Amino acid sequence: MEGHGFDDSSVRLVSAFMAMEPSDSLISHARVCGGGLITEQVQEFIWDHCLSKAAGLYAPYLKNFLKKLIIEVELEHGCVLDNLYELYAHYMTSIKDNSLVQRDAKIRKRISFLFPDGYSQLQSCLHSRVLVFPLQCSLNMLEGDTGCSIWPSSLFLSELILSYPELFSNKSCFEIGSGVGLVGLCLAHVKASKVILSDGDLSTLANMKTNLELNHLNVELEKPERNKNLNMVKCMHLPWESASESQLQDVMPDIVLGADVIYDPVCLPHLVRVIGILLSHKKSYSCRQVASCEGAGSSNKYENGELHYTNQPNFEDLVDVSAVAGTVINNHGSGGDGPKEAPLAYIAGVVRNVETFNHFLSLAYQAKLDIVDLTDSLKPVNLLPYMHSYNQASIRLLRITFNP
Protein backbone atom coordinates (compact mmCIF):
# COMPACT_ATOMS: atom_id res chain seq x y z
CA MET A 1 0.00 0.00 0.00
CA GLU A 2 2.89 2.31 -0.73
CA GLY A 3 1.78 5.92 -1.05
CA HIS A 4 -1.85 4.85 -0.58
CA GLY A 5 -1.81 3.18 -3.98
CA PHE A 6 -4.22 0.44 -4.98
CA ASP A 7 -2.65 -3.00 -4.96
CA ASP A 8 -4.67 -6.24 -4.86
CA SER A 9 -5.02 -6.21 -1.08
CA SER A 10 -6.27 -2.63 -0.95
CA VAL A 11 -8.72 -3.22 -3.81
CA ARG A 12 -10.12 -6.18 -1.89
CA LEU A 13 -10.45 -4.10 1.27
CA VAL A 14 -12.38 -1.35 -0.52
CA SER A 15 -14.53 -3.90 -2.35
CA ALA A 16 -15.38 -5.70 0.89
CA PHE A 17 -16.29 -2.41 2.53
CA MET A 18 -18.59 -1.28 -0.28
CA ALA A 19 -20.25 -4.71 -0.33
CA MET A 20 -20.86 -4.36 3.42
CA GLU A 21 -19.03 -7.54 4.32
CA PRO A 22 -18.95 -8.42 8.06
CA SER A 23 -16.58 -6.34 10.20
CA ASP A 24 -14.34 -9.34 10.92
CA SER A 25 -13.80 -9.74 7.18
CA LEU A 26 -12.84 -6.07 6.82
CA ILE A 27 -10.39 -6.36 9.71
CA SER A 28 -8.83 -9.39 8.06
CA HIS A 29 -8.35 -7.47 4.80
CA ALA A 30 -6.94 -4.49 6.71
CA ARG A 31 -4.34 -6.72 8.36
CA VAL A 32 -3.26 -8.07 4.97
CA CYS A 33 -2.80 -4.48 3.76
CA GLY A 34 -0.62 -3.71 6.78
CA GLY A 35 1.48 -6.85 6.71
CA GLY A 36 -0.32 -8.28 9.72
CA LEU A 37 -0.97 -5.03 11.61
CA ILE A 38 -3.52 -2.25 11.22
CA THR A 39 -0.95 0.49 10.88
CA GLU A 40 -1.62 4.22 10.80
CA GLN A 41 -1.05 4.07 7.05
CA VAL A 42 -3.77 1.43 6.73
CA GLN A 43 -6.11 3.54 8.88
CA GLU A 44 -5.45 6.55 6.65
CA PHE A 45 -6.26 4.43 3.61
CA ILE A 46 -9.52 3.27 5.21
CA TRP A 47 -10.41 6.86 6.00
CA ASP A 48 -9.56 8.19 2.53
CA HIS A 49 -11.00 5.40 0.39
CA CYS A 50 -13.74 3.85 2.51
CA LEU A 51 -15.18 6.00 5.29
CA SER A 52 -14.87 9.32 3.46
CA LYS A 53 -16.79 7.84 0.52
CA ALA A 54 -19.42 5.99 2.51
CA ALA A 55 -22.33 8.32 1.82
CA GLY A 56 -25.49 6.25 1.62
CA LEU A 57 -24.13 3.24 3.46
CA TYR A 58 -26.06 2.01 6.46
CA ALA A 59 -24.89 4.07 9.45
CA PRO A 60 -25.13 1.27 12.07
CA TYR A 61 -22.88 -0.85 9.85
CA LEU A 62 -20.28 1.94 9.79
CA LYS A 63 -20.59 2.36 13.55
CA ASN A 64 -20.02 -1.34 14.19
CA PHE A 65 -17.03 -1.44 11.83
CA LEU A 66 -15.44 1.60 13.49
CA LYS A 67 -15.93 0.05 16.92
CA LYS A 68 -14.26 -3.19 15.78
CA LEU A 69 -11.45 -1.31 14.05
CA ILE A 70 -10.67 0.85 17.08
CA ILE A 71 -10.72 -2.13 19.45
CA GLU A 72 -8.35 -4.12 17.23
CA VAL A 73 -5.85 -1.25 16.91
CA GLU A 74 -5.92 -0.63 20.66
CA LEU A 75 -5.37 -4.34 21.39
CA GLU A 76 -2.25 -4.11 19.22
CA HIS A 77 -1.15 -1.08 21.28
CA GLY A 78 -1.30 0.98 18.11
CA CYS A 79 -2.28 4.60 17.65
CA VAL A 80 -5.84 5.22 16.48
CA LEU A 81 -6.33 8.18 14.15
CA ASP A 82 -8.29 11.06 15.65
CA ASN A 83 -10.60 11.07 12.63
CA LEU A 84 -11.71 7.53 13.47
CA TYR A 85 -12.42 8.38 17.11
CA GLU A 86 -14.39 11.47 16.10
CA LEU A 87 -16.50 9.65 13.53
CA TYR A 88 -17.25 6.84 15.97
CA ALA A 89 -18.29 9.39 18.61
CA HIS A 90 -20.61 10.96 16.03
CA TYR A 91 -22.30 7.64 15.34
CA MET A 92 -22.51 6.89 19.07
CA THR A 93 -24.49 10.07 19.69
CA SER A 94 -26.56 10.11 16.49
CA ILE A 95 -27.66 6.46 16.44
CA LYS A 96 -29.83 5.93 19.48
CA ASP A 97 -31.22 2.46 18.84
CA ASN A 98 -30.55 0.29 15.84
CA SER A 99 -32.18 -2.81 17.31
CA LEU A 100 -35.57 -1.92 15.82
CA VAL A 101 -35.45 -1.84 12.05
CA GLN A 102 -38.38 -1.53 9.70
CA ARG A 103 -39.25 -4.77 7.94
CA ASP A 104 -38.97 -3.15 4.51
CA ALA A 105 -35.76 -1.19 5.23
CA LYS A 106 -33.35 -1.08 2.29
CA ILE A 107 -29.61 -0.56 2.08
CA ARG A 108 -27.37 -0.04 -0.91
CA LYS A 109 -24.38 -2.29 -1.52
CA ARG A 110 -21.81 -2.19 -4.29
CA ILE A 111 -20.83 -5.62 -5.61
CA SER A 112 -17.40 -5.55 -7.29
CA PHE A 113 -16.17 -8.30 -9.59
CA LEU A 114 -12.36 -8.37 -9.66
CA PHE A 115 -10.83 -9.85 -12.80
CA PRO A 116 -7.35 -11.38 -12.95
CA ASP A 117 -4.78 -9.88 -15.29
CA GLY A 118 -4.87 -11.11 -18.86
CA TYR A 119 -8.25 -12.80 -18.62
CA SER A 120 -8.78 -12.94 -22.37
CA GLN A 121 -12.37 -14.23 -22.19
CA LEU A 122 -13.52 -10.81 -20.97
CA GLN A 123 -11.28 -8.41 -22.84
CA SER A 124 -13.96 -7.79 -25.45
CA CYS A 125 -16.52 -6.59 -22.88
CA LEU A 126 -14.37 -5.13 -20.11
CA HIS A 127 -12.61 -1.79 -19.97
CA SER A 128 -11.34 -2.25 -16.42
CA ARG A 129 -10.26 -5.06 -14.12
CA VAL A 130 -13.07 -4.09 -11.75
CA LEU A 131 -16.77 -4.28 -12.62
CA VAL A 132 -19.06 -2.67 -10.02
CA PHE A 133 -22.84 -2.94 -9.66
CA PRO A 134 -24.69 -0.83 -7.05
CA LEU A 135 -27.65 -2.77 -5.64
CA GLN A 136 -30.49 -1.78 -3.38
CA CYS A 137 -31.29 -4.76 -1.19
CA SER A 138 -33.06 -5.76 1.99
CA LEU A 139 -31.63 -5.12 5.41
CA ASN A 140 -34.02 -7.61 6.97
CA MET A 141 -33.62 -10.89 5.08
CA LEU A 142 -34.52 -12.95 8.15
CA GLU A 143 -37.79 -11.05 8.56
CA GLY A 144 -39.14 -12.38 5.28
CA ASP A 145 -37.87 -9.92 2.67
CA THR A 146 -35.87 -12.68 0.98
CA GLY A 147 -36.48 -11.56 -2.60
CA CYS A 148 -34.51 -8.36 -2.05
CA SER A 149 -31.46 -10.12 -0.62
CA ILE A 150 -28.29 -11.17 -2.42
CA TRP A 151 -28.21 -14.96 -2.28
CA PRO A 152 -25.00 -17.03 -2.71
CA SER A 153 -26.17 -18.75 -5.88
CA SER A 154 -26.91 -15.44 -7.61
CA LEU A 155 -23.29 -14.49 -6.94
CA PHE A 156 -22.24 -17.86 -8.37
CA LEU A 157 -24.32 -17.50 -11.55
CA SER A 158 -23.00 -13.96 -11.97
CA GLU A 159 -19.43 -15.24 -11.77
CA LEU A 160 -20.32 -18.00 -14.23
CA ILE A 161 -21.75 -15.53 -16.77
CA LEU A 162 -18.74 -13.23 -16.51
CA SER A 163 -16.30 -16.16 -16.65
CA TYR A 164 -17.88 -17.70 -19.77
CA PRO A 165 -19.44 -14.77 -21.67
CA GLU A 166 -19.40 -16.76 -24.93
CA LEU A 167 -22.10 -19.06 -23.52
CA PHE A 168 -24.53 -16.17 -23.01
CA SER A 169 -23.69 -13.45 -25.50
CA ASN A 170 -26.20 -13.15 -28.37
CA LYS A 171 -28.53 -15.54 -26.54
CA SER A 172 -32.05 -14.92 -25.29
CA CYS A 173 -31.91 -15.43 -21.52
CA PHE A 174 -34.72 -15.78 -19.00
CA GLU A 175 -34.27 -15.88 -15.22
CA ILE A 176 -36.83 -17.29 -12.81
CA GLY A 177 -36.88 -15.76 -9.33
CA SER A 178 -34.56 -12.89 -10.22
CA GLY A 179 -34.44 -11.19 -6.81
CA VAL A 180 -32.28 -8.07 -6.83
CA GLY A 181 -31.44 -8.50 -10.54
CA LEU A 182 -27.69 -9.12 -10.29
CA VAL A 183 -27.73 -12.05 -12.73
CA GLY A 184 -29.63 -9.92 -15.25
CA LEU A 185 -27.08 -7.13 -14.95
CA CYS A 186 -24.29 -9.57 -15.77
CA LEU A 187 -26.24 -10.98 -18.73
CA ALA A 188 -26.71 -7.48 -20.11
CA HIS A 189 -23.02 -6.77 -19.57
CA VAL A 190 -21.92 -9.73 -21.71
CA LYS A 191 -24.44 -8.67 -24.38
CA ALA A 192 -27.12 -11.34 -24.22
CA SER A 193 -29.49 -10.65 -27.13
CA LYS A 194 -32.48 -10.50 -24.77
CA VAL A 195 -32.67 -10.44 -20.98
CA ILE A 196 -35.97 -11.21 -19.27
CA LEU A 197 -36.10 -11.21 -15.47
CA SER A 198 -39.05 -12.47 -13.46
CA ASP A 199 -40.29 -12.72 -9.92
CA GLY A 200 -43.56 -13.62 -8.25
CA ASP A 201 -43.39 -10.90 -5.60
CA LEU A 202 -44.41 -7.39 -6.66
CA SER A 203 -42.26 -5.58 -4.08
CA THR A 204 -39.23 -7.62 -5.20
CA LEU A 205 -40.03 -6.76 -8.81
CA ALA A 206 -40.19 -3.05 -7.99
CA ASN A 207 -36.84 -3.24 -6.20
CA MET A 208 -35.34 -5.13 -9.14
CA LYS A 209 -36.42 -2.39 -11.54
CA THR A 210 -34.80 0.18 -9.26
CA ASN A 211 -31.52 -1.75 -9.43
CA LEU A 212 -31.64 -1.94 -13.22
CA GLU A 213 -32.12 1.81 -13.37
CA LEU A 214 -29.31 2.36 -10.84
CA ASN A 215 -27.06 0.57 -13.33
CA HIS A 216 -28.27 2.61 -16.32
CA LEU A 217 -30.36 -0.12 -17.93
CA ASN A 218 -33.74 0.69 -19.44
CA VAL A 219 -36.58 -1.37 -18.02
CA GLU A 220 -39.22 -2.83 -20.31
CA LEU A 221 -42.46 -3.70 -18.56
CA GLU A 222 -44.89 -6.55 -19.11
CA LYS A 223 -45.64 -6.09 -22.80
CA PRO A 224 -42.55 -6.22 -25.02
CA GLU A 225 -42.00 -3.60 -27.64
CA ARG A 226 -40.01 -4.32 -30.75
CA ASN A 227 -36.82 -2.30 -30.51
CA LYS A 228 -33.12 -2.83 -30.71
CA ASN A 229 -32.06 -1.04 -27.55
CA LEU A 230 -29.19 -3.19 -26.25
CA ASN A 231 -29.63 -1.70 -22.77
CA MET A 232 -33.22 -2.91 -22.54
CA VAL A 233 -34.15 -5.52 -19.95
CA LYS A 234 -37.67 -6.86 -19.56
CA CYS A 235 -39.19 -7.54 -16.13
CA MET A 236 -42.11 -9.94 -15.70
CA HIS A 237 -44.41 -10.62 -12.78
CA LEU A 238 -44.41 -14.42 -12.72
CA PRO A 239 -45.90 -16.30 -9.77
CA TRP A 240 -44.97 -19.92 -10.52
CA GLU A 241 -48.29 -21.32 -9.31
CA SER A 242 -50.33 -19.26 -11.77
CA ALA A 243 -47.92 -19.12 -14.72
CA SER A 244 -49.52 -20.43 -17.91
CA GLU A 245 -48.22 -21.65 -21.24
CA SER A 246 -49.86 -18.71 -22.98
CA GLN A 247 -48.07 -16.30 -20.65
CA LEU A 248 -44.72 -17.91 -21.43
CA GLN A 249 -45.23 -18.55 -25.14
CA ASP A 250 -43.65 -15.23 -26.14
CA VAL A 251 -40.57 -15.78 -23.98
CA MET A 252 -38.92 -18.60 -25.98
CA PRO A 253 -35.49 -18.34 -24.33
CA ASP A 254 -32.28 -20.04 -25.40
CA ILE A 255 -31.16 -20.20 -21.78
CA VAL A 256 -33.13 -20.32 -18.53
CA LEU A 257 -31.36 -19.44 -15.29
CA GLY A 258 -32.32 -19.87 -11.65
CA ALA A 259 -30.42 -19.15 -8.43
CA ASP A 260 -31.42 -20.73 -5.10
CA VAL A 261 -34.90 -21.57 -6.36
CA ILE A 262 -34.98 -25.13 -4.96
CA TYR A 263 -35.99 -24.38 -1.37
CA ASP A 264 -39.72 -24.86 -0.73
CA PRO A 265 -41.29 -28.32 -1.32
CA VAL A 266 -44.70 -26.70 -1.81
CA CYS A 267 -43.40 -24.55 -4.68
CA LEU A 268 -41.38 -27.25 -6.45
CA PRO A 269 -44.20 -28.71 -8.63
CA HIS A 270 -44.92 -25.20 -9.95
CA LEU A 271 -41.22 -24.50 -10.48
CA VAL A 272 -40.70 -27.73 -12.43
CA ARG A 273 -43.78 -27.02 -14.53
CA VAL A 274 -42.49 -23.54 -15.45
CA ILE A 275 -39.04 -24.93 -16.34
CA GLY A 276 -40.68 -27.65 -18.41
CA ILE A 277 -42.75 -25.16 -20.39
CA LEU A 278 -39.73 -22.96 -21.07
CA LEU A 279 -37.51 -25.84 -22.16
CA SER A 280 -40.03 -27.76 -24.30
CA HIS A 281 -40.83 -25.01 -26.79
CA LYS A 282 -39.71 -24.86 -30.44
CA LYS A 283 -39.89 -28.44 -31.62
CA SER A 284 -37.64 -27.51 -34.55
CA TYR A 285 -34.68 -27.49 -32.19
CA SER A 286 -32.36 -30.47 -32.42
CA CYS A 287 -32.94 -32.33 -29.15
CA ARG A 288 -30.34 -34.91 -28.18
CA GLN A 289 -32.11 -38.15 -27.35
CA VAL A 290 -30.87 -40.18 -24.42
CA ALA A 291 -31.73 -43.87 -24.32
CA SER A 292 -33.60 -44.90 -21.19
CA CYS A 293 -33.50 -48.25 -19.47
CA GLU A 294 -36.66 -49.65 -18.00
CA GLY A 295 -37.10 -51.94 -15.02
CA ALA A 296 -35.56 -52.18 -11.59
CA GLY A 297 -32.13 -52.99 -12.95
CA SER A 298 -31.79 -49.79 -14.97
CA SER A 299 -28.82 -47.50 -14.43
CA ASN A 300 -27.81 -43.97 -15.30
CA LYS A 301 -26.05 -43.58 -18.63
CA TYR A 302 -22.65 -41.88 -18.90
CA GLU A 303 -21.97 -40.38 -22.32
CA ASN A 304 -19.29 -38.00 -23.55
CA GLY A 305 -18.11 -37.22 -20.05
CA GLU A 306 -21.61 -36.40 -18.78
CA LEU A 307 -24.08 -38.40 -16.76
CA HIS A 308 -27.71 -38.46 -17.90
CA TYR A 309 -30.41 -39.83 -15.65
CA THR A 310 -32.40 -42.69 -17.14
CA ASN A 311 -33.74 -43.80 -13.79
CA GLN A 312 -34.92 -41.49 -11.03
CA PRO A 313 -31.88 -39.60 -9.69
CA ASN A 314 -31.22 -38.48 -6.14
CA PHE A 315 -28.68 -36.39 -4.31
CA GLU A 316 -26.22 -39.29 -3.96
CA ASP A 317 -26.26 -39.77 -7.74
CA LEU A 318 -25.32 -36.14 -8.20
CA VAL A 319 -22.40 -36.43 -5.82
CA ASP A 320 -21.09 -39.31 -7.96
CA VAL A 321 -21.44 -37.16 -11.07
CA SER A 322 -19.22 -34.47 -9.57
CA ALA A 323 -16.49 -37.05 -8.98
CA VAL A 324 -16.38 -38.26 -12.59
CA ALA A 325 -17.39 -35.20 -14.61
CA GLY A 326 -13.77 -34.28 -15.37
CA THR A 327 -13.37 -31.14 -17.46
CA VAL A 328 -16.55 -31.33 -19.51
CA ILE A 329 -17.61 -27.95 -20.86
CA ASN A 330 -21.19 -27.35 -21.95
CA ASN A 331 -21.48 -26.66 -25.68
CA HIS A 332 -25.12 -25.60 -25.73
CA GLY A 333 -25.67 -22.14 -27.11
CA SER A 334 -22.04 -21.66 -28.11
CA GLY A 335 -22.85 -20.60 -31.64
CA GLY A 336 -21.26 -21.92 -34.80
CA ASP A 337 -22.73 -23.86 -37.69
CA GLY A 338 -25.09 -26.81 -37.53
CA PRO A 339 -28.50 -27.39 -36.00
CA LYS A 340 -29.65 -25.00 -33.31
CA GLU A 341 -29.44 -26.57 -29.89
CA ALA A 342 -32.49 -27.03 -27.70
CA PRO A 343 -33.05 -24.52 -24.88
CA LEU A 344 -31.37 -25.38 -21.61
CA ALA A 345 -31.40 -24.25 -18.00
CA TYR A 346 -28.61 -23.51 -15.59
CA ILE A 347 -29.86 -23.91 -12.03
CA ALA A 348 -27.46 -23.09 -9.18
CA GLY A 349 -28.22 -23.73 -5.54
CA VAL A 350 -27.02 -24.62 -2.09
CA VAL A 351 -28.40 -27.99 -0.98
CA ARG A 352 -29.80 -27.00 2.41
CA ASN A 353 -32.18 -29.94 2.68
CA VAL A 354 -31.41 -33.20 0.88
CA GLU A 355 -35.04 -34.38 0.98
CA THR A 356 -36.22 -31.18 -0.71
CA PHE A 357 -33.48 -31.48 -3.32
CA ASN A 358 -34.38 -35.13 -4.01
CA HIS A 359 -38.04 -34.13 -4.35
CA PHE A 360 -37.05 -31.61 -7.02
CA LEU A 361 -35.05 -34.28 -8.87
CA SER A 362 -37.99 -36.69 -8.71
CA LEU A 363 -40.41 -34.10 -10.11
CA ALA A 364 -37.95 -33.16 -12.85
CA TYR A 365 -37.57 -36.81 -13.83
CA GLN A 366 -41.35 -37.21 -14.05
CA ALA A 367 -41.50 -34.09 -16.25
CA LYS A 368 -39.00 -35.63 -18.72
CA LEU A 369 -36.23 -33.22 -17.79
CA ASP A 370 -32.65 -34.44 -18.18
CA ILE A 371 -30.30 -33.28 -15.41
CA VAL A 372 -26.53 -33.05 -15.75
CA ASP A 373 -24.35 -32.04 -12.81
CA LEU A 374 -21.73 -29.49 -13.90
CA THR A 375 -20.47 -28.61 -10.43
CA ASP A 376 -16.94 -29.84 -11.09
CA SER A 377 -16.83 -29.35 -14.85
CA LEU A 378 -17.97 -25.75 -15.37
CA LYS A 379 -16.33 -23.78 -12.61
CA PRO A 380 -16.47 -19.99 -12.67
CA VAL A 381 -13.39 -17.92 -12.00
CA ASN A 382 -13.28 -16.60 -8.44
CA LEU A 383 -14.22 -12.99 -9.15
CA LEU A 384 -15.25 -12.20 -5.55
CA PRO A 385 -12.05 -13.05 -3.64
CA TYR A 386 -12.72 -10.37 -1.02
CA MET A 387 -16.12 -11.78 -0.07
CA HIS A 388 -15.47 -14.06 2.90
CA SER A 389 -19.22 -14.44 3.50
CA TYR A 390 -19.62 -16.26 0.16
CA ASN A 391 -18.29 -19.75 -0.52
CA GLN A 392 -18.28 -20.66 -4.20
CA ALA A 393 -17.58 -24.31 -3.35
CA SER A 394 -20.92 -24.63 -1.52
CA ILE A 395 -22.93 -24.18 -4.75
CA ARG A 396 -24.09 -26.98 -7.04
CA LEU A 397 -24.62 -26.25 -10.73
CA LEU A 398 -27.17 -28.27 -12.71
CA ARG A 399 -27.84 -28.20 -16.43
CA ILE A 400 -31.39 -29.16 -17.36
CA THR A 401 -32.81 -29.98 -20.78
CA PHE A 402 -36.13 -31.37 -21.97
CA ASN A 403 -36.04 -34.95 -23.30
CA PRO A 404 -39.37 -35.71 -25.04
Question: Does the pLDDT of residue 24 top 70, yes or no?
Answer: yes
User: According to the model, what pLDDT value does residue 67 have?
Assistant: 96
pLDDT at 143: 44
What is the residue-averaged pLDDT of the chain? 81
Q: At what angle do helices 40-49 and 8-18 cross, to 10 degrees?
A: 50
Higher pLDDT, 46 or 316: 46
- Confidence class for position 39, pLDDT limits 50, 70, 90: very high
CATH second-level architecture of 141-402?
A: 3-Layer(aba) Sandwich (3.40)
Give the pLDDT score at 59: 86
- pLDDT tens, 245-262? 888 888 889 999 999 999
Rounded mean pLDDT, 116-128:
59
More confident site: 332 or 109: 109
Confidence of residue 232 (pLDDT cuts 50, 70, 90): confident
Examine the pLDDT at 337 and tell me if it is beyond 60.
no
Highest average pLDDT, of 18-27, 94-103, 104-113, 121-130, comes from 18-27
pLDDT, mean of residues 379-390? 95
Q: Of the candidates 272, 277, 275, 303, which has an alpha carbon nearest to the alpha carbon of residue 290?
A: 303
Q: What is the pTM of this model?
A: 0.83
Q: How far is the C-alpha of 351 from the C-alpha of 359, rounded, in Å? A: 12
Which of 78-82, 118-122, 156-160, 317-321 shows the lowest per-residue confidence on average (mean pLDDT)?
317-321
Q: Which of the residue ranges 127-131, 215-219, 267-271 has the most confident prediction, judged by mean pLDDT?
A: 267-271
Res 309 pLDDT > 90? no
d(CA 90, CA 201) in angstroms, rounded, equals: 38
Looking at residue 227, its pLDDT comes to: 45
The separation between the first and the last C-alpha atoms of the chain, rounded to the nearest angstrom, is 59
For residue 271, pLDDT over 80 is answered with yes
Q: Which residue has the higher pLDDT, 233 or 148?
A: 233
* Lowest model confidence (mean pLDDT) among 271-280, 292-301, 311-320: 292-301
Are 386 and 15 in contact by the 8 Å Cβ rule? The answer is yes
CA separation for the pair 70, 303 (Å, rounded): 58
Indicate the domain borders of the chain.
Answer: 2-94, 141-402
pLDDT confidence of residue 105:
73
Percent of the residues in the chain that have a pLDDT greater than 90, as a whole number? 61
Scored b (16 or more CB within 10 A) or e, 70-79 reads bebbeeeebe
Q: Is the pLDDT of residue 161 over 50?
A: yes
Q: What does the pLDDT read at residue 247?
A: 86
Q: Decide if pLDDT at 189 tops 90.
A: yes
Confidence check: pLDDT of 342 > 60? yes
pLDDT over threshold 60, residue 92:
yes
User: What is the pLDDT, as a whole number, of residue 58?
Assistant: 83
> For residue 218, what pLDDT is reported?
79
Confidence band for 107, pLDDT divided at 50, 70 and 90: confident
DSSP result, 342-403: PPEEEEEE--S-HHHHHHHHHHHHHTTEEEEE-TTTSPPP---TT-TT--GGG-EEEEEEE-
